[in-house]
Amino acid sequence: MGITRRKFVQATAAGTLVAGSGFSPLSFAASHKTVKVGMNIPMTGDYAPWGLPGLYGCQIVADNINATGGVDIGGQKHKIEIVSYDHGYDIEKAVQGYKKMVLEDEAKMVMMLGGATVGAVMPWGERKDVFTTTLLSSDITPDTEHLVATCESHPLYVVTGVEWLARNFPDAKKAVIVTNNDVEYGLQAAATYQAAFEVAGIKVVDMNLHGFDVTDFAPIVSSVLAKNPDIFCMATSFYTTPLMEQLFHQGYKGKIISTTLDYHEEVIAKTSEDFVNGTIHQFPSFDDPKLNDKGISFPDPGGFDAEYRKRHPNDWSAVSWEYPAIMLNWLEGAKTAGSTDSSKVLKALKNNSNPEFVFGGGKWWGKELWGRDNVVIGNWPVVVIEGGKTRIKEFASVTDWVDKHSDVLIKYMKSHGLRTVS
């Protein structure tokens, strides 16, 4: 691609990105244009933690780029403007917001969370050639040419956490899985954890896939703990806090693994730091020193983290950095293409067989599972709660795992009735 995200802002102007610099917005000269980036996401309701924090993050990165003079696309400086729409994870509102962004706001790309809202907008989006992104790689189909997952490859990366657990705790041989039974998050993650456990030689002795109407998790937790598991897996649960509370109150002493543990401080407050310490998940805080390692392409992770927590001290979640990373990826494509045209940006990105990826090792993938190589996979962090904080233990290759074991993954995807092309 000729430019890394870590150097991206340096390439846009003479300045460098310093997220906590306290800059003021620039008055752009008449020669500057504005490129509008759309975010059609849930900002209210149950899904808000996986939408609104990403808007906050994108605004910080856009402010920094604008403060250094904007981004050069096709030989002309462009200011970045974020346009957003809160669909509250309502399908009808998602369609309305998507069309508004394209037709009225003239957004050149649209970022979305994923799931049913993406499925609802893409038929129209494909007819209009709208560059659209998702955090759920399972949204990709053979027909979604303009839909890409360039940052989060849910649920694929969870295999790295299981690999690390099995290597570091070889006596842990029995697992249970408790998670929500929705197709978009719960079942996708449950199938992937099952595959990862099988590859690691860990037996799943019980699984509870519950609905969204559960208010008391005590019976569910006590039922699976009766199987004496070494590992309690929450997959991509919407209910990590009440599940952790029940594990604490019922005296569970084994390992806990989850896709994410957003707002883990709240969990600690309701249980104890000693109990939460050791929990394995996949989403780091960006003040982690390991994010300064070679191969990490997010610009100034520590500065971004500091500015984010200054502006929004209680709102950090798994998506706080993901949408900004996606926006930076699109801007790289636009710079390379010299254009904001969707098809040209997509071509510029796809022409790079080793695309930039936040944690390094990027590769386009997805055809054998979902019918199109529109997912960027690569290295992904395994994090553990230590001293009440998330700390990266290693970066592991998702690519290596799927290249060797995609047949096992497909088997479990099919067992849950999930869509695959194989």
Can you give the pLDDT at residue 422?
Answer: 82
Domain match, 301 and 343 both? yes
Task: State the Cα–Cα distance between residues 86 and 51, nearest whole angstrom.
Answer: 9
Domain match, 222 and 334 both? no
Eight-class DSSP state of 139: G
pLDDT at 340 over 60: yes
Cis upstream peptide for 25 (omega within 30°):
no
- State the pLDDT confidence band at 12, using cuts at 50, 70 and 90: very low
Tell me whether residue 288 is in a domain: no
Domain match, 136 and 164 both? no
Q: Compute the average pLDDT of residues 18-39.
A: 60
Tell me whether residue 37 is in a domain: yes
pLDDT at 141 over 90: yes
Eight-class DSSP state of 138: G
Domain match, 186 and 147 both? no
Residues 6 or more apart whose CB falls under 8 angstroms from that of 120 comprise 91, 94, 95
Task: State the Cα–Cα distance between residues 51 and 289, nearest whole angstrom.
Answer: 26
Can you give the pLDDT at residue 296?
Answer: 95
Q: Compute the average pLDDT of residues 265-273.
A: 97
Q: Could you tell me the two tokens for 162?
A: 């299981």
Domain match, 10 and 146 both? yes
Tell me whether residue 287 is in a domain: no
Q: Range with the lowest mean pLDDT among 8-12, 122-126, 165-169, 247-251?
A: 8-12
Instruction: State CA 361 to chain mean position distance.
Output: 16
Number of structural domains found in the chain = 2
Domain match, 194 and 168 both? yes
Q: Taking all residues of the chain, what is their mean pLDDT, rounded to a whole number?
A: 93
Query: By the 8 A CB rule, do 176 and 207 touch?
Result: yes
Can you give the pLDDT at residue 32?
Answer: 72
H helical segments located in 226-377: 240-249, 264-270, 273-276, 301-311, 322-337, 342-350, 367-370
- State the pLDDT confidence band at 1, using cuts at 50, 70 and 90: very low
Interior angle at CA 62, CA 68 and CA 322, nearest 5: 135
Tell me whether residue 421 is in a domain: no
Within 10 A of 142 (CB to CB), how many other CB atoms are there? Answer: 11
Domain match, 12 and 112 both? yes
Residues shown for the chain:
422
- State the pLDDT confidence band at 13, using cuts at 50, 70 and 90: very low
Each residue's pLDDT tens digit, 341-388 = 999 999 999 999 999 899 999 999 999 999 999 999 999 999 999 999
* Residue 16 vs residues 19, 58, 65, 70, 108: alpha-carbon distances, Å: 9, 17, 9, 12, 25
Q: Which of 73, 35, 79 is nearest to 348 (CA)?
A: 73
Each residue's pLDDT tens digit, 68-95 = 999 999 999 999 999 999 999 999 999 9
As a whole-number percent, the residues of the chain with pLDDT over 70 amount to: 93
Q: Compute the average pLDDT of residues 151-168.
A: 97
- Amino acid present at 337: A
Domain match, 26 and 129 both? yes
- Amino acid present at 376: V
Interior angle at CA 408, CA 402 and CA 412, nearest 5: 115
> Could you tell me the CATH number of the domain that includes residue 189?
3.40.50.2300
Q: Cβ-count burial of 139 within 10 angstroms (0-12 exposed, 13-18 middle, 19+ buried)?
A: buried
Domain match, 185 and 235 both? yes
Domain match, 21 and 88 both? yes
Can you give the pLDDT at residue 28?
Answer: 45
Tell me whether residue 103 is in a domain: yes
Tell me whether residue 291 is in a domain: no
Residues 6 or more apart whose CB falls under 8 angstroms from that of 127 comprise none
DSSP for 1-13?
A: ----GGGHHHHHS
Comparing 20 with 296, the larger pLDDT belongs to: 296
Can you give the pLDDT at residue 31?
Answer: 58
Each residue's pLDDT tens digit, 168-206 = 999 999 999 999 999 999 999 999 999 999 999 999 999
Domain match, 173 and 66 both? no
Q: Compute the average pLDDT of residues 124-153.
A: 97
Can you give the pLDDT at residue 196?
Answer: 98
Q: Compute the average pLDDT of residues 207-230.
A: 97
Task: State the Cα–Cα distance between residues 63 and 31, nearest whole angstrom.
Answer: 19
* Residue 228 vs residues 192, 221, 225, 252: alpha-carbon distances, Å: 22, 11, 5, 9
Comparing 287 with 1, the larger pLDDT belongs to: 287
Task: State the Cα–Cα distance between residues 295 and 181, nearest whole angstrom.
Answer: 36
Q: Cβ-count burial of 228 within 10 angstroms (0-12 exposed, 13-18 middle, 19+ buried)?
A: exposed
Q: 3-class SS at 393? A: strand
- Amino acid present at 143: D
Q: Compute the average pLDDT of residues 30-42.
A: 88
Tell me whether residue 322 is in a domain: yes
Please give the torsion angle defined by the CA atoms of residues 308, 393, 357 and 401, in that order, rounded to the nearest 10 degrees: -140
Each residue's pLDDT tens digit, 298-324 = 999 999 999 999 999 999 999 999 999
Residues 6 or more apart whose CB falls under 8 angstroms from that of 253 comprise none
Tell me whether residue 286 is in a domain: no
Strands in 53-202 per DSSP E: 71-73, 76-86, 109-111, 132-133, 147-148, 174-180
Can you give the pLDDT at residue 421?
Answer: 92
Give the range of the structural domain holding residue 83, as residue numbers without chain letter: 5-154+296-377
Domain match, 206 and 304 both? no
- State the pLDDT confidence band at 25, using cuts at 50, 70 and 90: very low
Query: By the 8 A CB rule, do 80 and 70 touch?
Result: yes
Q: Compute the average pLDDT of residues 402-409.
A: 97
Each residue's pLDDT tens digit, 284-300 = 999 999 999 999 999 99
Q: Compute the average pLDDT of residues 328-349.
A: 97
Q: Which of 153, 219, 185, 169 is nearest to 46 (CA)?
A: 185
pLDDT at 283 over 50: yes
pLDDT at 258 over 90: yes
Query: By the 8 A CB rule, do 19 and 306 touch?
Result: yes
Q: Could you tell me the two tokens for 244?
A: 């952790």
